[in-house]
């Protein structure tokens, strides 16, 4: 079971960044012209969207940190 580790603001910010990045890749008007960079951007965008959807960040969980307020 994935344990949520993102604060709601963290989650929203990631969501916005994800949407922005993916739409930039899709509608960049030929600015990128590089499949690797486009792939990288898509990858990060999707990662951010996953964070938005699940409230979980893989790197946070590797580093063992959490921006989520502690439940008491």
Minimum Å gap between C-beta 62 and other proteins is 8
Distance CA 44, CA 14 (A): 10
Q: Are 20 and 28 in contact (CB under 8 A)?
A: no
Residues making contact with other proteins (CB under 8 A): 31-34, 37, 40-41, 44, 59-60, 63-65
Nearer to other proteins, 1 or 30 (CB): 30
In 3D space, the residue among 37, 58, 44 whose CA is nearest the CA of residue 15 turns out to be: 44
Minimum Å gap between C-beta 53 and other proteins is 19
Minimum Å gap between C-beta 63 and other proteins is 4
């Amino acid at each position: 079971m994935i344990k949520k580790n993102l604060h709601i603001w963290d989650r929203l910010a990631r969501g916005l960044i994800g949407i922005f990045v993916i739409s930039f890749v899709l509608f960049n008007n030929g600015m990128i012209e590089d499949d690797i960079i486009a792939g990288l951007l898509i990858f990060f965008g999707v990662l951010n969207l996953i964070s938005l959807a699940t409230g979980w960040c893989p790197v946070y969980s590797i580093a063992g940190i959490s921006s989520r307020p502690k439940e008491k």
